[in-house]
Amino acid sequence: MDDWKERISIDPNVCHGKPCIKGTRIWVSLIVDNLAAGSSEEEILEAYPSLNREDIRAALAFAAEMTRERYVDIPSKV
């Protein structure tokens, strides 16, 4: 999804600058956390009626972009 930038906002005056779905106070991380915990798109849309499927896809695209830009050291078992 190339248009995630049209759906995600980062504003220091909204949610302390955390990435949110534009026009909401719903954090991108909240959406990704719910998906990682096994929630379906339908469950997320039901819990957050101001979202739509494109918002969920934008959150995932944003998360994917961030993994290309940032690295987290994970200790390996040797």
> pTM for the complete prediction?
0.84
> Do 27 and 16 touch, CB atoms closer than 8 A?
no
Going from N- to C-terminal start, the domains of the chain cover 3-67
pLDDT tens per residue across span 3-60: 888 999 999 999 999 999 999 999 999 999 999 999 999 999 999 999 999 999 999 9
In angstroms, the CA 65 to CA 62 distance is 5
Q: Kindly tell me if the per-residue pLDDT of 1 is higher than 70.
A: no
Q: Are the C-beta atoms of residues 58 and 26 closer than 8 Å to each other?
A: no
For Cα atoms 8, 42, 17, give the angle at the middle one, nearest 5 degrees: 20
Do residues 59 and 31 make contact, with C-beta atoms less than 8 angstroms apart? Answer: yes
CATH pick for 3-67 out of 1.10.10.10, 1.20.1250.20, 3.40.50.150, 3.40.50.170: 1.10.10.10
Instruction: Give the residue, 71 or 63, on which the prediction is more confident.
Output: 63
- Asked if pLDDT for residue 77 goes beyond 90, the answer is no
In 1-78, alpha helices (H): 28-36, 41-47, 53-69
pLDDT of residue 78: 64
